[in-house]
Chains A and B, each alone.
Chain A
Amino acid sequence: MQVFKTFMKIMKKHLRTSIIYIIVFLAIGIGMSLSDDKKTGFENSRLNISVIDNDNTEASRALIEFIDKNHTIVEVGNSKDEMLDALYYLRANVILTINEGYAEKLANGETDDLFSDYRVPGTFTAEYFDTQINQYISTINAYTTGGFSIEKAAEKTAVLMENEVKAEIISPNEKKDSSLLSDKISQYFNYFAYVIIMVIISGLCPTILVMTSKEIRNRTNCSSISSSSQLLQIALGSVIFSIGVYLLLTCSAAILYGSEIFSKNGLLGILNSFVFLIFAMTLTIFIAVIAPSSNVVNMIANIVGLGMSFLCGVFVPQMLLSDTVLNVGKFLPAYWYVKANNMLSGSNNEIFSNSKFFICIGIEIAFSVMLFCITILAAKTKRSSKSV
């Protein structure tokens, strides 16, 4: 086992980068496990609005009521200086004056000169408030055109707009189906794809390159150890390292996320990541065969790891990626890995079914087999071109 022992010794010298990746990944995992999912939600922005009602009708009071429901009405005084001070010190975002004749103009279908206001020009808050008021006025206008009285139209508009702003936020931990994995674990498994590629390539590739360099290979081939035994010992070292990293990351997930990992979907997630591990190992051997030197290994690892992750939805949910990106991603195994993870967590509107899940697993395995064949071909070509 001389080759195996030396392989492990040399690998130890190349582990620095891998260890950094693992530490960062685990730190992110710990961060995710400590985050409170219940805080995740959606809240409308409430602005500070000052309203001066010069019309004082049912319609203008209905508008004030609508504003009060959605924002905070503040008193800033009536003088111009007081108003400007309030805007300057951000006590009010907008000072809205309802002009006299507001109700009458609305009833006649007119929408010009209904208001005058003070605001800080070009701010998001003012634009946001404008949009809301315009929508309110347009809706009233539609009702009055339809024959409703101004009071009735104001009442209906208030109800309608209240319904529109209602939004249902589903907490990640409050899935309807309890068998689905939480988003935290799903994200952990997704990031796993990137980390396992980077860790295995940066740890194994330089070691394999050293052990199979022309000088060392020739020298070892002159010895009384057969070349198949050498290859087996190198393969054994590679497998032990890869399985070790895999177990470390999987056990970390079990510690961080508890029993959920051992649910049916959790175990399927572990299976999915194991299949992806096989692909990562095949990719590592391929890079070790084609890389001209260990200096370029990190560069290749970054291109492959980051490229695949961004194209396949490891970092950004697949639902946010364009169709073109997703179509390209389909030619990479990470896409199918993430898709299978999404099925397990119900993310990205993916619905789990055994057949669909195992199709994804099968495609990942097919990618590994295909890459392994290409690797053998590349190794043969490289060897024959070197011997000439």
Chain B
Amino acid sequence: MSETVVKIENLVKRYKELIALDHFNLEIKEGEVFGLLGPNGSGKTTAINCLLSLLEFDKGNIEIFGEKMTPENYKVKREIGIIMQNVAVFDELTVYENIDYFCGLYISDKETRKKYVDEAIAFAGLESFTKFYPKKLSGGLLRRLNIACGIAHKPKLIILDEPTVAVDPQSRNRILEGIQSLNKNGATIIYTSHYMEEVEQICTRIAIIDKGKNVAIGTKDELKKMIRNTETITIEALRVEESVKKQINSLEHVYETVHSDGKLVIRCSGGKHNLIKILGILSENDTPFGRVYSEQPTLNDVFLEITGKALRDGSDENNKEEN
């Protein structure tokens, strides 16, 4: 059985009246790519900052590698790599010097450090930019530099806080592939994002956070099983009689039928062949229709059903706290 790398118990963090983390619990095993999914302001960054002892918390306990995490626990800190949401590099230093600086905070031996820095440069694909200053790099390259600075010292636990914000698709794919390769090399990853597609793509286990609480946790399949929805059928239809909607709604596995903006959206729970039955009803009633889509539930559906709102509905108030 794999060891527990991170254990957070009953963590409470308040900013005056605002409760950023409300009895937050989490357990992450060795070798996992663990996703923290939640809208902006849900408490992801606060949880990470508490985990790293950058923020004092009001209540609770945090253990990393079986040791209590404190600001002075440098032994544990040595094993952690952090890639912050805001790029933290020196504009005055070149790409190579930046990676060397952050690697040097952990590795004092010059030879080893040089080897590690070169490997980090190769990992991030920055070989052609080693003498560039950060201001000369594109947004994607800058993010890759940020990642290289965080992983150069070969940490066992890597925390990535929204590493793909404002990144072009090409760099995003490269970053995601890189994270998976770090995991294959033995690192445990904590990945926070509000992009559900990314989390679905790379995370082995996911925790959904809302208002500082851990509302659901499991693999993506486990999470999807938690909700009623198993299939969402969308049919382009300009006009649908009320009687037709009622007929569809009366089908065994259909629990919701909504028609708006020229689209008929039918949500099903369990059962198979729903689509054939629905299309049959439309044909029988001479209802003209266009394209038809059938979608499996996404994490957004999971979040929507659990919290009653979509993942990207972050409140402004909470955004302030996160930023």
User: Which parts of A225-242 form the interface with B (CB within 8 Å)?
Assistant: 225-227
Contact stretch, chosen from A83-91, A211-219, A274-282: A211-219
Rounded to whole angstroms, the CA-CA distance of A210 and B93 in the bound complex is 11
Flag whether B122 is at the interface (Cβ < 8 A).
Answer: no
Question: Is the CB–CB distance between B82 and A388 below 8 Å?
Answer: no
Number of interface residues of A (CB under 8 A): 22
Cβ of A35 under 8 Å from chain B: no
Interface flag for A354 (CB, 8 Å)? no
Among B108-129, those with CB < 8 Å from A are 108
- Which of B70-78, B186-194, B300-308 contacts its partner? B70-78
Q: Does B86 contact A (CB under 8 A)?
A: yes
Q: Is the interface of B mostly helix, strand, loop or mixed?
A: loop
B137 within 8 A of A: no
Please tell me if A2 contacts chain B, counting CB pairs below 8 Å. yes
Contacts of B75 in A (CB 8 A): 224
CB neighbours (8 Å) of A210 from chain B are: 90-92
Query: Are B93 and A222 in contact, CB atoms less than 8 angstroms apart?
Result: no
A221 to B88, CA, bound (A): 12
Docked pose: A225 CA to B80 CA in angstroms: 13
For A388, list chain B residues within 8 Å (CB).
15-16
Taking CB atoms, residues of chain B closer than 8 Å to A227 are 71
Q: Which residue of B lies closest to A227 (CB)?
A: B71
A387 sits at the interface (CB 8 A): yes
| Contact between chains at A10 and B77 (CB < 8 Å) | no
What residue of chain A has the Cβ atom nearest to residue B75's Cβ? A224
Is B92's CB under 8 angstroms from A224's CB?
no
| Nearest B residue to A215, CB-CB | B88
| A61, chain B: closest CB distance, angstroms | 83
Q: A6-B101, A223-B105, A223-B106 are in contact. Are A216 and B52 (CB under 8 A)?
A: no
Cβ-defined contact, B88 with A219, below 8 A: yes
Interface string of A1-28 (1 = CB under 8 A from B): 0110010011001100000000000000
Residues of chain B within 8 A (CB-CB) of A222 are 52, 54, 77, 80, 82
Confirm or deny: A220 has a beta carbon within 8 angstroms of a beta carbon on chain B. Answer: yes
B97 interface contact, C-beta 8 A: yes
Given contacts A222-B82, A223-B106, A224-B78, contact A216 B88 (CB under 8 A): yes
Determine which of B15, B71, B86, B93 lies in contact with A215 in the assembled complex, contact meaning CB atoms within 8 Å: B86
State the CA gap A216–B93 with chains docked (Å): 13
Mask: chain A, 68-93; 1 = CB below 8 Å from B; 0 = not: 00000000000000000000000000
Kindly state the separation between the CA atoms of A9 and B53 in the bound complex, as whole angstroms.
29
Q: Judging by beta carbons under 8 Å apart, are A218 and B74 in contact?
A: no
Question: Is there an interface contact between A215 and B87, defined as CB atoms closer than 8 Å?
Answer: yes
Report chain B residues within 8 Å CB of A218: 49, 54, 84, 88
**A233 CB to nearest chain B CB (Å):** 11
Query: Is B74 in contact with A226, judged by CB distance below 8 angstroms?
Result: yes
Closest to B81 in A: A222
Residues 219-250 of chain B, each 1 if its beta carbon lies under 8 Å from chain A, else 0: 00000000000000000000000000000000
* B84 CB contact (under 8 Å) in A3, A6, A215, A225: A215
B149: nearest chain-A partner, CB-CB: A219
Interface hub of A9, A14, A215, A222 (most chain B Cβ within 10 A): A222
Q: Are B80 and A2 in contact (CB under 8 A)?
A: no
CA distance A218 to B104 in the complex (A): 16
Q: How many Å from the CB of B102 to the closest CB on chain A?
A: 7
B105-A224 in contact (CB<8A): yes
**Distance (Å) between the CB of A17 and the closest chain B CB?**
15
Q: How far is the CA of A211 from the CA of B71 in the complex (A)?
A: 19
Q: B258 interface residue, CB < 8 Å from A?
A: no
Q: B26 at the A/B interface (Cβ < 8 Å)?
A: no
Minimal beta-carbon separation of B162 from chain A (angstroms): 14
The interface bits of chain B over 176-215 (1 if a CB of A lies within 8 angstroms of the residue's CB, else 0) are 0000000000000000000000000000000000000000
CB distance from B75 to the nearest CB of A (A): 8
A23–B126 alpha-carbon span in the complex (Å): 40
Instruction: State in angstroms the CA–CA spacing of A9 and B104 once bound together.
Output: 14
Given contacts A215-B86, A215-B88, A220-B105, contact A6 B80 (CB under 8 A): no
| Known interface pairs A215-B86, A223-B77, A388-B16; A2-B92 also in contact (CB < 8 Å) | no
Interface string of B39-79 (1 = CB under 8 A from A): 00000000001001111000000000000000110110110
6 A-B pairs with the lowest CB-CB distances in the bound complex, closest first: A223-B105, A215-B88, A2-B104, A219-B88, A224-B78, A224-B74
- Using A2-B104, A219-B102 as known contacts, list a sample of 5 further A-B pairs with CB atoms less than 8 Å apart, ordered by residue number in A: A218-B88, A219-B88, A221-B53, A221-B54, A224-B74
